[in-house]
Chains A and B, each alone.
Chain A
Amino acid sequence: MLDGFVMALSGLTQGVRFVFTFQGLPNVVMLGVAAVLLYLAVKKGVEPLLLLPIGFGCLLVNIPLSDLMDEGGLLRFFYDIGISTEIFPLLIFVGIGAMTDFTPLLENPKILLFGAAGQFGIFMTLLLALALGFSQVEAVCIGIIGACDGPTAIYVTSQYAPHLLGAVSVAAYSYMSLVPIIQPPIMRALTTQKERLVRMPMSAASTVSPYTKLLFPIVVTAVTGLIAPKGLPLMGTIMLGNFMKESGVVQRLTGASENEIANIVTLFLGLAIGGTMEGHKFLRPETLAIFGLGFVAICVDTGAGVLLGKLMCFLSGGKINPLIGAAGISAYPMAARVAQVQGQLYDRRNYLLMHAMGANTGGQIGSVMAAAVMLSVLKGFGMA
C-alpha cells in the first residue's frame, strides 16, 4: 500500500523534479521567454494578436513532460493541419488581401518599385547566413525575415527548414513590431534636411477607376503567376481577398476573411508556432544568429528603400521625398506611418501618408514576389 502511495506521489511530482535537473534548464529558460512574450503582448501591445498565442504556446510546450507537441498532442494537431500543410499562412493572406486598399499604389504606380528595393535585405541576409555556416535552404528561410512579412516567412520556412520555424517567425513578427524604432535613425542618417522637406502634394480627386481596382488583382495574379508559379499560392490568396473586396458582391465572404477566418487562423497559427519553441530545440546558438540576421535584414531593407528614394528624388527633379522609400517593406501600415511621422518632424504640413501607403502596399506585393522568385529559383536548382 505504501509503495502505491510513493509511486502515485512520484508520478505527481515528476514534472517538478524535472525542473530542478540540468535537463530541465532549457525548459525553465523558455518559460522565462514565454513570460517575456506575454508581457510584450499584454503590457506593451507588441503585435498582441500573434505574440500572445505564440507566448502561450511556448508556455504550454515547455511545461516539463507536457506532450502537447507529441503525436496526437493539441499543439501538434494545429501544427500538422495548418503549418505542415501551409494552409494557415495562406488563409491569413486572403484576410490581408481583403483588408488592403491598393488605391494609393494605383494612383502613383511608380512607387511600386520601392516594394522591390525594400526586399534587398532578404538577399543580403541570405549571403550573411551562408557565410555564418547555415545550409542553403536555411539561409533562404532566414533571409525571408527581411520580407517583414510573417505569413510569407512561415510559408517558406515550413517548407524548407521547419526546424527553424519558431525562431524565424518570432524574429519576423518581433522586428515588424519594432519598425517604428529601427527605421527612423536609418532614415535620418541617409537623407539630407532638404530631401526630408520635399512635399508630395496629393491630387484631391482620385484618378483610379473602379474597373482598374477590380482588374488589378486578376492581372497581378496572372502576370506574377506566369513568371514565378511557385509563389502563386501566396500571391493568389492575397489577390483573391482583394478581388472579393473590390468586387463588392461577396461582402459576407470578405467580412469572414478579414475577421472570423483571420482571427481563428491567427490563434491556431500562434499556438502552433509557440509549440515549436521547446527549450531543447530552440535554445541553440543558431537562434541567436537568426535574431541578429533578422535585425540586419530590416536595416538593409530600410536603407535600400531610402537610397532608391534618393535616386528617384534626383531623377524626378526633387518631386519624391526619399523618406517614403523606407515604407517599401511589408509591415503594413506601420512603415507608412513611420514615413509620415518622420516627414512631419521637419515640416508639420508635409502629408506623406498616402504616398507612403502606396509604397507600403508595394512592399506587400514586393515581399511576396521576392519569396516567389526565391522559390522558383530553388525549383530551378532542383532544390524544391
Chain B
Amino acid sequence: MDNWTFGITMTVVGTGATFLILGILVFVIGLLKRGFPLSAGPNQNEKAKGA
C-alpha cells in the first residue's frame, strides 16, 4: 500500500472510529445513569439502613 492511501485511510478510519466509539460510550453512560440513578447506589442504601 502506498503512503498516501495508508495515511488517508488511517486518518479517516482513525478519526471516525474514535469519534464513533466515544459516541457509543456517551450513549452507554447515559443508559447507566438511567439504569442506576443516584438513589439506587450502595452508599445511599447503607445510609438508609443507618438511618
Contact = CB atoms under 8 A, between A and B. Distances in A.
Contacts of A206: 38
Contacts of A110: 26
Interface string B1-44: 10110111111011101110111111011101100111111111
A216 B21 contact: no
B36 A215 contact: yes
Interface string A126-147: 1100100000100110000000
A122 B14 CA distance: 9
B26 A109 contact: yes
B14 A370 contact: yes
Contact of B29 (A112, A123, A136): A112
Interface in A207-225: 207-212, 215-216, 219-220, 223-224
A284 to B, nearest CB: 20
B33 A123 contact: no
B25 A126 contact: no
Contacts of A136: 1, 3, 6
Contact of A130 (B3, B14, B39): B3
Contacts of A126: 7, 10-11
B47 to A, nearest CB: 11
A122 B13 CA distance: 13
Contacts of B38: 206-209
A112 B26 contact: yes
A215 B29 CA distance: 9
Contacts of B14: 119, 122-123, 370, 373-374, 377
Give the contact-size bracket for chain B: 35 or more
Interface stretch (A62-70, A312-320, A341-349, A361-369): A361-369
A366 B10 contact: no
A116 interface: yes
Nearest to B33: A212
A106 B40 contact: no
A211 B22 CA distance: 21
Contacts of B29: 105-106, 109, 112, 212, 216
Interface string A181-206: 00000000000000000000000001
B7 A139 contact: yes
B18 A119 contact: yes
A115 B18 CA distance: 9
Interface of A: 105-106, 109-110, 112-113, 115-116, 119-120, 122-124, 126-127, 130, 136, 139-140, 206-212, 215-216, 219-220, 223-224, 227-228, 362, 365-366, 369-370, 373-374, 377, 381
22 contacts: A105-B29, A106-B33, A112-B22, A113-B23, A120-B15, A122-B14, A126-B10, A136-B6, A209-B33, A209-B36, A210-B43, A211-B41, A212-B36, A215-B32, A219-B28, A220-B25, A369-B18, A373-B14, A373-B18, A377-B13, A377-B17, A381-B6
Given A369-B18, A373-B14, 14 more contacts: A109-B26, A113-B19, A116-B15, A116-B18, A119-B18, A130-B7, A209-B36, A210-B43, A210-B44, A216-B32, A219-B32, A228-B17, A369-B21, A377-B13
